[in-house]
Amino acid sequence: MHDTTRSTLALAALGLLAAAPLTHAMDTPSAPASLAAAAANARPALPQALAPAKTDFKADEYRETDLWARIRSGYAIPDVDNTLVNRHAQWYSSRPDYLARISGRASLYLYHVVQELEKRGMPTELALLPVIESAFNPQALSTANAVGIWQFMPGTGKDYDLKQNMFKDERRGVVASTDAALTYLQRLYTMFGDWHLALAAYNWGEGNVQRAIKKNQALGKPTDFESLAELMPAETRNYVPKLQAVKNIVAAPNQFNVTLPAIENQPYFTAIDKTSDIDLAVAAQLAEMSVDEFKALNPQFKKPVITGGEKTKILLPKENAEKFHVNLASFGKALSSWTTHKITSAKESIASLASKFGTTPEVIRQANNIPDRTRLKAGSTILVPKTSAMAHTDIAENIIDNAVVAFEAERSAVKRAKAGKAQRFKAKAGVSSTKKSRNTSSTRKRR
């Protein structure tokens, strides 16, 4: 499907993603201003189209074989030229290993992003925005709980129909989050009529940008990005210059002594409809991929089982998709080994549930991300292994949409904590009493 360079780059990216912890700082070297930016937390109205969609887009319409060249050919945002741009360009270009890691991750997703931008008639340098947002890591998590390559906050994600439930978080899913991000950016451009302000609003929130504009208008000052920059927080003030810096490097890597790994101008993955529950590990097995490789393309799935439904899709490289279909036809076993159980009483301990469903407490804790020394609250819905009677039963859609897990400290842990606190209090009281006795004795002697 791909040449050796592309395949090697992609495999390296998959390994890096697999090894990365779920934190925004996992791949951000220390430097002035963070590379990760939180998505806007405003609650926007319905988006408006920026340009008529192109429904017959094909990669072979382009002579470029390298995707970086295709991105360059679609630059359309006016350039910014200031000291911040130069500073960030120097920062990126002096870290070739970091740029190589980002390029490796981007090789899995970038074609899709560029294709979607062109369908909407949007500037292709917006495909570089995830470099600033997340270093193209779909597992990136900010301290403000923004996630995915586009760094959507929970509220904004809901506004753009990105499902967030116990089983999946579409803010991490590449296809769904890209569609939502581009729709949001279109709306912001329609609102402000300026890409620099639209980008600032994506980072800072449209309400904040609107208030900054009104403040400058009241003072008779210009309302372009650079004129408003002094009113912005440092992160937003650096946001557009960072994108410009990356844009400059991609436009002329030789001028910055940078070598960008080649990324072919063709799709990396294809989507497969999936209408029944399937274990994530089984899906990876049928596709003849490692679990980490599978997760790199399907990071939205949070549990060891992928629930079914008409709208559920999994992404696979084309060759692996073909293998998936062939292997599925001859599999002959249950595709899913998990179902759900609702906790109705505090008497249902994790140990008793493990015994009931023929597994271990560790398996239940791991499948449901239940910390040690905690117990489940009544009303929680958890994953448990299927019994033989439920072997071919899928998890109901209403459970998928509404299931929640809540836990609290175990009573023994609470008792230990209280006992420790009591002991510390007594010890402190004893010290105070001794000091008081000594002070009294000293006073009597002086008298």
Rounded Cα gap, residues 315 and 14, in angstroms: 14
Rounded Cα gap, residues 412 and 374, in angstroms: 10
Q: Helix crossing, 206-218 with 174-192: angle to 10°?
A: 20
Enumerate long-range contacts of 300-304, CB under 8 Å, 24 or more apart: 300/168, 300/169, 300/170, 300/171, 300/172, 300/173, 300/176, 301/167, 301/168, 302/166, 302/167, 302/168, 302/169, 303/166, 303/167, 303/168, 303/338, 303/367, 303/383, 304/279, 304/280, 304/338, 304/367, 304/383
Q: What is the set of active-site residues?
A: 133
| Closest to 107 in 3D by CA, of 175, 257, 7 | 7
- Which tokens sit at 425? 């209090």
Rounded Cα gap, residues 342 and 379, in angstroms: 6
Rounded Cα gap, residues 275 and 307, in angstroms: 8
| Closest to 196 in 3D by CA, of 84, 95, 99 | 84
56 contacts: CB under 8 Å, gap ≥ 6? none
Q: How many CB atoms lie within 10 A of CB 317?
A: 21
Element (H, E) at 409: strand 407-409
